[in-house]
């Protein structure tokens, strides 16, 4: 399924810099040491912290047994509870070299 920006060249590369086609998911389901681009954020408080659509975050800690997670945005680190993280939709980000 195309999201309107992909060229459909079969390589999975999107015209938007660094993005690949894939499904959007809640931030709470993301893996540690991976980068994600924020697509949508329904939580006002985390938006005020800078977690707005278009920002790239890296998941530092996300243990299934822990009710919170840690993400990095630039040089800042934020601890989010998983309920808040469920309101943030992201897509995996792959930087171009």
pLDDT, one tens digit per residue, over 36-73 is 999 999 999 999 999 999 999 999 999 999 999 999 99
Looking at every residue in the chain, the average pLDDT score rounds to: 83
Is 25-92 a CATH 2.30.30.90 domain?
A: yes
Backbone CA torsion sign across 51, 18, 36, 74:
negative
Sheet containing strand 76-81, edge to edge, reads: 25-26, 88-92, 35-41, 56-61, 68-73, 76-81
Segments making up each domain of the chain, as ranges: 25-92
């Amino acid at each position: 399924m195309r999201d309107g920006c992909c060229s459909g060249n079969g390589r999975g590369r999107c015209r938007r810099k660094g993005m690949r086609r894939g499904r959007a998911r809640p931030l709470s389901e993301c893996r540690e040491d991976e980068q994600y681009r924020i697509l949508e954020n329904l939580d006002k408080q985390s938006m005020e912290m800078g977690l707005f659509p278009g920002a790239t975050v890296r998941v530092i800690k996300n243990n299934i047994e822990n009710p919170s997670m840690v993400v990095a945005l630039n040089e800042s680190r934020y601890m989010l509870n998983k309920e808040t993280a469920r309101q943030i939709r992201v897509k995996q980000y792959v930087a171009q070299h």
